[in-house]
Chains A and B, each alone.
Chain A
Amino acid sequence: MPSTKVSMKVNGRAVSAEVDTRTLLVHYIREHLKLTGTHVGCDTTQCGACTVHVNGQRIKSCTIFAVQLEGAEVTTVEGLAKGKQLHPMQAAFSEHHGLQCGYCTPGMVMSAISIAERYKGKALTEDIVRHELEGNLCRCTGYHNIVKAVMAGAKAMGG
């Protein structure tokens, strides 16, 4: 079983491990680091439940190998709140009931923050938000309240 050593920063903490080369980033995060907020909902890079930020960009952690992350800075949903203080996007999801079962939620929130950052200073419309959510599936909410939450959260983030 080929393995490789990899070192990265996850939520600001330096981590390092010898991993089977087949280990996907999501499995590294969940099983080695025990950060189980990042979820897996499909096997074809579609549902987005595994969305994390790598070097400031949202990606699907089920479609990248952990060994590719040498030197990278990774942020997962666990890295957003400051102590008991929720990130403004997390607060907006709660305020607007943008989650039901909570399973797609971490990926949704990570995407939502990227959307807010990408459209900072620009008009963020319902249509844009829906297109920007193409890579995140939710089976509970019908997206209505997620769209509202993303727009409110983006505003709260200073967008």
Chain B
Amino acid sequence: MYVGQPIRRREDVRFLTGRGLFVDDVQMTQPIAHAAFLRSPHAHAKIRSIKTERARGLPGVLTVLTGADWVRQGHGEADGVWPVNDRSGKPARTVNRPFICVDNVVRCVGEIVAMVVAEDRHQALDACEAIEVDYEPLPANVVTAKALDAGTPLVHPKFGTNEVLETYHGNKAVVDEAFKKAHHITKLEVPTNRVTASPIEPRAYMGHYDPLNDRYTVWTTHQAPHIVRQYFTRSLHIPEHKLRVVAPDVGGGFGMKLYHYPEEPLVLWGAIETERPVKWTGTRSECLMGDTHARDHYTVGEMAFDKGGKILAMRFKTLAAFGAYESQWQASITNAYHFTMLSLAYDIPGIFTQVKGVYTNCTPVDAYRGAGRPETVYQVERLIENGAKEMGIDPFELRQKNAIPPEKIPYTTAIGITYDSGDPPELFRKMKKLCNYEALREEQKKLRAQGICMGIGICGFFDMAGAGPVKMMNDLGAKIGCYDVASVRVHPSGKITVFAGSHSHGQSHATTWTQIAADRLGIPIEDIELVEGDTDRVPFGIGTWGSRSLSTAGVAVAVAAGRVIEKAKKLAAHMLECAPSDLVIENGQFIVKGTDKKIAFAEVSNAAYHSGDRPKGLEIGLEETAFYDPTDCTYPSAVHLCVVIVDPETGHVKLRNYWSVDDVGRVINPMVFEGQVHGGCTQGIGQALMEECAYDPSSGQYLSGTFMDYAIPHATDIPMFGVESHVTLTPSNPLGAKGGGESGTIAAPACISNGVIDALYHFGIRQITQPMTPKKIWRAIQDAKAGR
């Protein structure tokens, strides 16, 4: 068996030896021309005029294109994959993110105003500088919390409001009643900070057009190439059969590389116009302002407890930033992923939430690893933590008291989602032992007496992963089908190529998908290769996002492999003159049970393609494709705990320990799973302690434009992790796998925040918003000391 083993990764050698193939590495026979983009330096401005004549005349310049050209040529726009659905019945106020400014108003810093294509990057940038744009700056609105206040500048004046939509969920009557009889109520402002995924590989695209054959090719840093291909039918009106989209090696995506970004159709447009391959590779500065941003919820919440610390109900009001436009998957956060998971790992009878989407003059917001659930866990867990403290109950104990007991699972939350499997009390028990909780509390007391501020942060949650089935996600607003696809092609020699509609950009599919296939097929893993990321080779696919690839594409691999074996068995049985049910497959051999009669898999596969002697009606060939639609989403769960030491003089937080106990169902490769937890937690730690896409509230200027100002965790910021699992299988797919890609980013922000507040609670500090940077922590301590 390969599944369950920490098999070394089969993709490693090419990356370790510099032989990976990322978009910027792709070579062409024709010289590659470079695109550069002139971007708005203003958060909000009217464009009085654009003059491109001087730029066009500069050396090496092949073309200069603007929004006027885009409109004149009749090109289109990209509407939402997850369109806004205003549940209050009011029409949603949707404005899709434009590829290039077409209406002479720029609404966020970085919005593209013009494109230059030139022989090299220096010439392209020289020409960008030579374009003269006459801007009339307009007042900007960059503060989510104030987006709906009277007098706030409107991003899209035609609506008369910055509100995109309003949506509300839960059992309001139960909640109102519970608050009336509550023993204790905790209230808190719990906003989540605006961050961005920042994979180390910047976004990059290369477009190519072959006019003689009328064929288009796009190489893209993308998580879902087939989705991109369909998008091109709307942006440049290129039908799928004419376009090949290749997402080769992609250097991290984290949800952010899931959209039809402006530069993607624009480079292909440039290629069409110049009949040259045209490439753009983003600089970090361009990416920090142009990659979708994430989170940015302004939330106020209340939690009602009974005398014993049982949570009776909670209610929230959230303003969810959309940025200046609606990015294509944005509404999956507000309409599907955020509110659905509010119950976390707890049995809470009453939940009510009101969410209003709002426009601000900021970069569009979209999904980033966790998409909505980091916000959810943060807002609920901060209330639990403070509630426990206010009531004098140990926070771990209070959580255990409220954890959903296994006998109540399947458990339907007050929001209406049903958790199909899991055992939260066991996760808490395991964690308590893993971290030696009582000893930590003792140590905390001892250190506090010495003036050292140690804090313990805890959180527990359920995640909604494995997006699917199609119907359920349609009902939650998805316009795309949430399933996935795999083909298993057995070659005559018995060697196998698996084609999957997922895309690995760090997730290790070349290893884990072949582990699954090898077990199903009973042949060595070395005899199987995986192909992903090419629309001309892979039948179809929805791509990799939302911790869904294992429970959709991974299962599709298993299903297709199972079909291959069923067919091969029929042929093998014919060749061995037995019944298919008499056969077992082991180590590449079909064996007649209880006999020494056997035949090699390779002989059967060869016969499948070349022998006329086969059972009646059995089709030639040995290849199967599965479009797998699961029966439900998956519901991974986890408990995380950390220890922080806060330096009250500087406000610096040292993260000393981080432990997790995750239930992700069947683990295909524990080494890969642990790596996913480490990486996710580190991103969540970054969100909690340092990451922030910051705008100057008065000018609207973007302040986090390089890695000099946007902080992502370094090796020195992170401890070694203690990762444990507790497995309960999901009934929603035959592997029993739930997906573990997002646990870390979902849990860590709440976990770390609770830890920091725990370290500083004795100063009278009740809340510090994220990122909890040294300056903010120091300020909170000063304010607390001064009684503010």
Do any beta carbons of A and B sit within 8 angstroms of each other in the complex?
yes
A interface list, Cβ under 8 A from B: 20, 22, 30, 34-44, 46-47, 49, 76-78, 80-81, 86, 90, 93-95, 97, 99-106, 109, 126, 129-131, 133-134, 136-147
Interface contact B715-A134, CB-CB below 8 Å? yes
- Which residue among A20, A30, A137 has the maximum number of chain B CB atoms within 10 Å of its CB? A137
Residues 490-512 of chain B, each 1 if its beta carbon lies under 8 Å from chain A, else 0: 00000000000000011110000
Bound: A40/B202 CA distance, A: 8
The residue from A86, A142, A145 contacting B13, defined by CB atoms under 8 A apart: A86
Q: Can you sample 8 A-B contacts with CB below 8 Å? A: A35-B18, A36-B21, A41-B201, A78-B18, A97-B671, A130-B716, A134-B716, A145-B675
Interface contact B12-A140, CB-CB below 8 Å? no
CB of B22 within 8 A of chain A? yes
CB of B788 within 8 A of chain A? no
Bound: A20/B8 CA distance, A: 43
8 more A-B contacts (CB under 8 A) besides A101-B249, A141-B675? Answer: A76-B18, A90-B17, A97-B674, A99-B12, A102-B20, A137-B200, A139-B197, A145-B675
Contacts of A142 in B (CB 8 A): 675, 678-682, 713, 718, 721, 744
Residue of B nearest to A150 (CB): B715
Contacts of B763 in A (CB 8 A): none
Shortest distance from the beta carbon of B510 to any chain A beta carbon, whole Å: 11
Contacts of B12 in A (CB 8 A): 93-94, 99, 102
Shortest distance from the beta carbon of A125 to any chain B beta carbon, whole Å: 12
Q: Is the interface of B mostly helix, strand, loop or mixed?
A: loop
Contacts of B744 in A (CB 8 A): 142
- Which residue among A94, A104, A140 has the maximum number of chain B CB atoms within 10 Å of its CB? A140
Residue of B nearest to A89 (CB): B16
Q: Is the interface of A mostly helix, strand, loop or mixed?
A: loop
Interface contact B720-A44, CB-CB below 8 Å? no
Interface contact A97-B672, CB-CB below 8 Å? yes
B interface list, Cβ under 8 A from A: 8-9, 11-22, 24-25, 27, 122, 197-202, 249-252, 254, 281, 283-285, 505-508, 671-672, 674-675, 678-683, 706-708, 712-716, 718, 720-721, 744
Interface contact A42-B707, CB-CB below 8 Å? yes
Interface contact A101-B718, CB-CB below 8 Å? no
The residue from A86, A101, A133, A138 contacting B16, defined by CB atoms under 8 A apart: A86
Interface contact A101-B199, CB-CB below 8 Å? yes
Contacts of B27 in A (CB 8 A): 34
Contacts of B505 in A (CB 8 A): 101
Interface contact B17-A37, CB-CB below 8 Å? yes
Interface contact B707-A44, CB-CB below 8 Å? yes
Interface contact B251-A101, CB-CB below 8 Å? yes
Shortest distance from the beta carbon of B689 to any chain A beta carbon, whole Å: 14
Shortest distance from the beta carbon of B124 to any chain A beta carbon, whole Å: 13
Interface contact A139-B199, CB-CB below 8 Å? yes
Bound: A39/B681 CA distance, A: 25
Contacts of B11 in A (CB 8 A): 102
Residue of B nearest to A49 (CB): B200
Known: A22-B122, A39-B201, A97-B671. A147 touches B285 (CB 8 A): no
Known: A93-B12, A142-B721. A43 touches B285 (CB 8 A): yes
Known: A93-B16, A102-B15. A39 touches B251 (CB 8 A): yes
Interface contact B682-A143, CB-CB below 8 Å? yes
Known: A99-B12, A126-B720. A139 touches B17 (CB 8 A): no
Shortest distance from the beta carbon of B458 to any chain A beta carbon, whole Å: 20
Contacts of B198 in A (CB 8 A): 139
Contacts of A86 in B (CB 8 A): 13, 16-17
Interface contact A81-B17, CB-CB below 8 Å? yes
Interface contact A109-B16, CB-CB below 8 Å? yes
User: Which 6 A-B residue pairs are closest in the complex by CB-CB distance?
Assistant: A37-B18, A103-B251, A102-B15, A142-B678, A101-B506, A142-B682
